[in-house]
Chains A and B, each alone.
Chain A
Amino acid sequence: MNAFFATFKVGFKFLWKSPVSVAILIAFPIMLIFILGSALSGYISADIELDPVPVAVAAEEGGAFRSFLQNPDIAPFFDLTYTSRAEAAALSEKGDVVCAVVEREDGSLEVLSPPGSGFSARIALSVFDSYQRVGAAFAIRGPEGGDIPGFSVEDMPLGKRVPNATDYYAVTMLVMILLYTGTNGTELFHKGMLSDTGSRAQTAPVTKPVLIGGLLAASTVTSFLQGMVTFVFTGVVYGVYWGERIPLVLLTLFAVVLFSQAFCIFLLLLFRSPGAVNGTVQAIFWVMTFVSGGYTKVSFGAADAVFQYVPNAMAHTVIFGSIYGGNEAKMGLYLAILFGLGLVFYIASFLLGRRRLA
């Protein structure tokens, strides 16, 4: 235990004094100031304004639901087609609308969504989807494709804020920052295990798991704390809304940290040079952030079905879902996949390391 904590401590100090890690710590929040500042000033938000969500509505003219939809707080989020029940169902079936909302005889609402995907599942399809549709999600939320019983205007969570560009970028940028903190793991693991300093530590009466454990703990904790700086910073400085399920958001961020540490260490054992790993992940994480809609709105058509499993995309989906509401089953699945990916890369690193560190 003494050796574990000693390694943890030395690793922690190493990282907080390493130029790379300090750069991450300082450069990213500065970048965020720039990006979020632009978003706030409308420079970026013009590009990613909420697209109205196409919804077919079959409801009684002059009824409660129609007047709800005409509420100026809500109306901009929807591109409504008022039609008959049968027609609404058909539009939803074809996928021309994301869902159809049908008012029943007794005044309750039924949400019909395209086969195989409840409305909230659609929300989770991609980050941009979720960004565009979260507004709508406030208005129409319920069990997948099911009823929203006892519908009334007062029950709608309109009191919650609608996400703006800043809220959106705070999430995608924080996830990206945490991915890049994987290089903490690279630097420290290289120093503490693979370099001459690492060799020296291995001549001491300490087992490899203790050394590796201490180093990984140090880089994981450091990375997570670095993410927390941004998390708090965005909340305090930009008033970013992180929702009411903070533990779930933090758990997701932690899963991202674990994944990126494991991934970077795997690459380090493969390439043996921290420089090569940094160069590679700069590129990979940039692409991952791009395809998961981190910077700007993109659609890749059929590929979107695959890109939803890009780690950032999954993290975005879980975080947006936890803040604004989303499909719980899908969120749980994505979170599990994220943790699973971390585990997979740790196992792969272990197997590779057993050969490489022999």
Chain B
Amino acid sequence: MVAVMENIVKRYKAHTALDHMNLTIQPGETLGLLGPNGAGKTTAIRVLTGLTGADAGNTRLFGAEMRGAALAVKRRIGVVPQDLALYEALSARDNLNYFGRLYGIRGAELKKRVDEVLEVLGLSDVAGKAPKKFSGGMKRRLNIGCAIIHKPELLILDEPTVGIDPQSRNHILDFVEGMTKQGTTVLYTSHYMEEVERVCSRVLIMDAGHVIADGTVEDLTKAAIFEESVTLEVRENAPGLCESVKKVQGVQRCEADGRSLSVTSAAGSQNLARILECAAPYIILSVAAKRPTLEDAFLALTGKKLRDTGGEGQ
């Protein structure tokens, strides 16, 4: 087990940021930590990395108790903080050099690693420039670079794509997938479910300081969503169609409204092809199938929308 948090409680005065939080990270997996702003994701990372002590519970990283001074363990993790954590007036290279040296890398090896990281993140051309002159996306990439200079076994990213353009976001997501392929264990925090759905092999959904669901994206959506719906539109009225559709496995309801047909099935039925087979004799004008997403799962679990709890960046 790469990381374990057991029943962690963390209070800020009267406010309980983590309320019996549990988490395990398996070697090699990309674990998504999904939750709205204020759910406690950042706090969980601060506790996990020893930046903050917990009021109760245990944290272990690579089998060792995590305390502020667990240097041998710290060497094996890389943390990309939610907010930019750079020396903005110093060059990108200076920043990478600094964080590299903090991990004990030096000399020719440091230079080689810095060049590699600049290359991977597409920052080679601006190595000598100060990040304060960078675009948001470039700053985010450098923010990541400073966490991977020492080739961590566990990479923790706290909302690494907040507030950037789609291209940079794609670059970062590709990069995370690349890290996973190389065998790095990743903890990826986000409140964008598309990202988590794309890069994560397993997802924890967090709300109000603890984990409310744990599983693969598929598991979670299946477990949380009870129905899927398909809407068909045909050219002429098709009186018998509803009856035959109802016979398809998984279909629970079918309602015809003129030339439009609403079909509701049990979650995970995967019966769209069969429904279309039934409709094959007719001319189909449009098909709209709504696949359940993590967003739906979250809504079903908490009664809240993921993103309606505040703006970006917190």
Residues on A facing B (Cβ under 8 Å): 2-3, 5-7, 9-10, 13-14, 17-18, 191, 195-197, 199-208, 358
Residue of B nearest to A358 (CB): B53
**Contact at A201–B53, with CB atoms within 8 Å?**
no
Contact of B101 among A3, A191, A203 (CB under 8 A): A3
Known contacts: A10-B98, A199-B81, A200-B146. The answer to whether A205 contacts B106 by CB under 8 A is no
- B71 near A206: Cβ-Cβ < 8 Å: yes
Closest B residue by C-beta to A192: B87
Collect the chain A residues with CB atoms within 8 Å of residue B102's CB.
3, 6-7, 201, 204-206
Question: Cβ of A2 and Cβ of B87 under 8 Å apart?
Answer: no
B100-139 Cβ-contact flags toward A at 8 Å (1 or 0): 0111101000000000000000000000000000000000
**Contact between A195 and B85 (Cβ–Cβ < 8 Å)?**
yes
Beyond A14-B89, A18-B89, 4 extra complex contacts between A and B, CB < 8 Å: A3-B101, A201-B102, A205-B71, A207-B69
4 smallest A-B Cβ distances: which pairs? A6-B101, A204-B102, A200-B85, A205-B71
Query: In the bound complex, do residue B53 and residue A6 qualify as a contact, i.e. CB atoms below 8 Å apart?
Result: no
Contacts of B51 in A (CB 8 A): 199, 202-203
Report if B84 contacts A (CB, 8 A): yes
Q: What residues of chain A lie closer than 8 Å to B49, measured between beta carbons?
A: 203
Does B299 sit at the interface, judged by CB under 8 A? Answer: no
CB-based contact A207/B74 at 8 Å:
no
Residue contact A205 to B103, C-beta cutoff 8 Å: yes
Asked if residues A10 and B90 are in contact (CB atoms below 8 Å), the reply is yes
Cβ of B245 within 8 Å of any chain A Cβ, yes or no, is: no
Q: A203 to B104, Cβ gap below 8 A?
A: no
**What residues of chain B lie closer than 8 Å to A2, measured between beta carbons?**
101, 104, 106
Contact call A200/B81, Cβ cutoff below 8 A: yes
Please provide the chain B residues from 30 to 51 with a CB less than 8 Å away from any CB of chain A in the complex: 46, 49-51
Interface of A is mostly: helix
- A17 x B89 contact (CB < 8 A): yes
Q: How far is the CB of A255 from chain B (nearest CB, A)?
A: 30
A261 to B250, CA, bound (A): 73
On whether the beta carbons of B99 and A204 are closer than 8 Å, the reply is: yes
B14 contacts partner chain A, Cβ-Cβ < 8 Å: no
- B104:A191 contact, CB within 8 angstroms: no
Q: Which residues of B contact A (CB under 8 A)?
A: 46, 49-51, 53, 68-69, 71-72, 74-75, 77, 79, 81-87, 89-90, 94, 97-99, 101-104, 106, 146-147
Roughly how many angstroms separate A14 CA and B106 CA in the complex, as a whole number?
20
A275 to B147, CA, bound (A): 29
Distance to closest chain B CB from A340 (angstroms): 30
Instruction: Report the minimum CB–CB distance from A49 to chain B (whole Å).
Output: 47
Residue pairs across A and B with Cβ atoms less than 8 A apart, 24 shown, are A2-B101, A3-B104, A5-B101, A6-B97, A6-B98, A6-B102, A7-B102, A9-B98, A10-B87, A13-B87, A18-B89, A195-B85, A197-B87, A199-B51, A199-B85, A200-B99, A201-B99, A202-B51, A203-B79, A204-B74, A205-B71, A205-B74, A205-B102, A206-B71
Q: Least Cβ distance of B75 to chain A in Å?
A: 4
* Among A17, A197, A204, residue most surrounded by chain B Cβ atoms (within 10 Å): A204
Cross-chain contact A191 with B106 (CB below 8 angstroms): no
A144 vs B145: C-alpha distance when bound (angstroms): 66
What's the nearest-Cβ distance from chain A to residue B248, in Å? Answer: 54
Q: What B residues does A197 contact at CB under 8 A?
A: 85-87
Q: Taking the nearest CB of chain A, how far is it from the CB of B207, in angstroms?
A: 25
Q: What's the minimum C-beta distance from B99 to chain A, rounded to whole angstroms?
A: 7
Chain B CB within 10 Å, residue with most, of A10, A14, A195, A203: A203
Cα(A202)–Cα(B85), bound, Å:
11
A94 to B75 alpha-carbon distance, docked (Å): 73
Contact A196-B83, Cβ < 8 Å, known A17-B90, A203-B50, A205-B72: yes
| A216 CB to nearest chain B CB (Å) | 17
Q: In the bound complex, do residue A205 and residue B75 qualify as a contact, i.e. CB atoms below 8 Å apart?
A: yes
> B residues within 8 A CB of A191?
87
Closest residue of A by beta carbon distance from B69: A207
Q: How far, in angstroms, from A200 to B102 measured CA to CA in the complex?
A: 10
Q: Which residues of A contact B98 (CB under 8 A)?
A: 6-7, 9-10
| A203 to B69 Cα, complex, angstroms | 10
Q: Are A200 and B79 in contact (CB under 8 A)?
A: yes
**CB atoms of A204 and B103 under 8 A apart:** yes
- In the bound assembly, the distance between CA atoms of A206 and B86 in angstroms comes to 17
A234 to B53, CA, bound (A): 51
Q: Provide the bound-state CA to CA distance between A10 and B46, in Å.
A: 24
Provide the bound-state CA to CA distance between A254 and B314, in Å. 43
| Cα distance A195–B81 in the bound complex, in angstroms | 11
CB B298 to nearest CB in A, in angstroms, measures: 27
CA separation between A195 and B84, bound complex, in Å? 10
Give the distance in Å from the alpha carbon of A201 to the alpha carbon of B97 in the complex. 12
